[in-house]
Amino acid sequence: MKQLYASLIAVFFLLPLSAAAGGVPWGEPNNTSGRFIVLSSYNNQAVFDSETGLVWEQSPSTLLVESGSATFNCIDLNVGGRTGWRLPTMQELMSLVDRSVSFPGPTLPSGHPFSNVQSQFYWSASTLANFPTIAWVADFGFGHVGTALKSSSHFVWCVRGGQGVDPQ
């Protein structure tokens, strides 16, 4: 009986999740021409990444904010009539970086549908271990990772879906 329940769970819950993520495991290259899908259900203001299963703002804010404000901005965000946004982890942000794109960037994959992405640092929700006043940042100018004091100002790019983190 337990095997039957396990099979039903796999069929009804796990298979649709893998299909929603383009049928590939998280982070595995999606070699289809449609990695990024602009979502009409979000008034074309959000983009589904079929490689990671995440939904990103199509046009992130161009305001510079401190880390605490970045977290609040995502929590309070309403894009395409949807709330429930959050600050992405460092790994999630770096999943958008294409290091074959040279400076001045932005270092995004070819064919991406994003606009207003700055060739600068973006906050992540990932805090540097043993240094609670420092967070990881992604540099979309050079395509690298870095760290920054949480009191400094950088850009914010909010995401929905995935597992996320609670950085507190």
Q: Residue 32 CA to chain centroid, in angstroms?
A: 19
Summarised one tens digit per residue, pLDDT across range 12-35 is 333 344 444 444 444 445 455 689
In the sheet that holds 46-49, the strands lie side by side as: 36-38, 46-49, 54-57, 159-160
What's at 42, amino acid-wise?
Answer: Y
List residues bridging with 123 in a β-sheet. Answer: 137
Question: 0.75 cut: is pTM over it?
Answer: yes
DSSP label of 82? B
Summarised one tens digit per residue, pLDDT across range 33-53 is 689 999 999 999 999 999 999
Domains and CATH numbers, the chain: 2-160 (3.10.100.10)
